[in-house]
Amino acid sequence: MPPLSTAGARAAPRALLVVVAYLGFVSLALPDIAHGVSWPFVRDAFTLPQSGLGLIMAGTAAGFFVSSFFAGRLLEAVGVGRLLAGSTGLVAAALVGVAVAPSFPVFLAAAPLVGLGSGAIDSGLNAYAAARFSARHMTWLHAAFGFGAACGPFLMTGALVVGGSWRLGYGTIALIMGAMALVFLSTRGLWRADAGGPITAGETAGASPAPARVTTRAALANPVVRLQIAMFCIYVGVEYGAGLWIFTVLSEGRGLSVELAGTMAGLFWGGLFLGRVGFGLVADRLGEDLSVRLGLAGMTLGAAAFALAPTPVGLVGIVLLGLACAPVYPMLMSRTPARLGEAVATHAIGFQVSAAMLGGVIFPALGGLLADAIGLDAVPLMVLASVLALVTLNAMLERRTA
């Protein structure tokens, strides 16, 4: 059985916190993913070039990088429950600013605030999960992220089709994040009690003393850490680069309707969700390394179909790409302590989360530059080249840790 329960009185609070953690991962995905559908309408409203999406993602990434890099210190200072509540509340407030922004500078100014809150949420939940959850539940937690990511495009598409406004979409997401902040706030005492104090990535349920401390510089000097940083950066670049540009590529580059393009964007993220649910069922049997290899093989086929095949096959490729992405991030994260040891893994998890967000801004921004310079068909080719780079890096990583 997964190591989710604890003895006696702590079992019920832990079960409640598992549910809250799942909800937290669902809500975490909503703001960034919605940009992929809203972007053409935001762009037209503020008269921007395609590359303007990169500015939004860069602002978000800057805030995310800062909060995730210092998440360990924040967790020690305020505890995981308060950190999650405050961070989610910050995201909700920033999204209200996005929804009512009268100009692009105001819209853009809110992006770092969304990133600050999201980075702390992501790092806090991952630190808690890495210390207490099995590989199966780690996969399912990230499946919850995939579910939220699938909901984001559908929610924004609904706001555009029914309400005729991208502002309505962001306002709705702000309300959801506000409700989630109240949930975190109301359970803050349970998080503290479950941790026996502020949670750090090095804690494990029932563990004895924490491992010897390792400096940030020493952890960064580890070649395996560097390989994993590169993999997280490129993987999330693929996930976001594809997910955020699918709608625009299909609707403006290939002439599909708004409804179909939005549906395909949602199906990409829906495939990610369903894939993580499925892989979670067999994760312990397959093991992390095989799961990653299978995922990368499927990503290669899906990205090739999206980039090179005719539209009907390309649409199937989009869904396959989402499905195949499923095991890569959670299995690499779950494998980190075994590859590096607890002391180094404490730092590496923070580095990986930060690198992931950098990839999430660099690749969508690069997609915008390529779209402006060459055309929208360059974006799927970028995705395919990035997947091939991931396959190469994973082979190098497995050789070093065999």
Domain ranges of the chain: 12-197+217-401
DSSP string, 110-173: HHHHHHHHHHHHHHHHHHHHHHH--HHHHHHHHHHHHHHHHHHHHHHHHIIIII--HHHHHHHH
Cα distances (angstroms) measured from residue 41 to each of 244, 253, 291, 392: 14, 15, 38, 37
pLDDT tens digit sequence for 183-223: 999 888 787 665 543 333 333 333 444 455 667 778 788 89
Of 5, 285, 325, 17, nearest to 136 (Cα)? 285
| pLDDT tens, residue by residue, 220-263 | 888 999 999 999 999 999 998 998 899 889 999 898 998 898 88
pLDDT grade for 310, boundaries at 50, 70 and 90: confident
From 64, 44, 43, select the one nearest 54 (Cα to Cα).
43
Q: What letter represents residue 246's amino acid?
A: I
On whether the CB atoms of residues 229 and 330 are closer than 8 A, the answer is no
pLDDT tens, 323-335? 999 999 988 988 8
pTM: 0.72
pLDDT at 202: 37
In contact, 114 and 87? CB cutoff 8 Å: no
pLDDT score recorded for residue 396? 95
Answer yes or no: is pLDDT of 8 > 70: no
Please state, in angstroms and rounded to a whole number, the distance separating the CA atoms of residues 139 and 143: 6
Q: For residues 136 and 284, is the Cβ–Cβ distance under 8 A? A: yes
Whether pLDDT at 119 is above 90: no
Instruction: Give the pLDDT confidence score for residue 190 in this predicted structure.
Output: 80
pLDDT over 80 at 107, yes or no: yes
pLDDT tens for residues 361-385?
A: 788 889 988 988 999 999 999 999 9
Residue in 52, 87, 61, 44 with CA at minimum distance from that of residue 180: 87
| CATH class for the domain made up of 12-197+217-401 | mainly alpha
- Give 320-355 as a DSSP string: HHHHHHTTHHHHHHHHHHHHH-HHHHHHHHHHHHHH
| Mean pLDDT (the chain, rounded) | 83
pLDDT higher than 80, residue 276: yes
Q: What is the pLDDT of residue 26?
A: 87
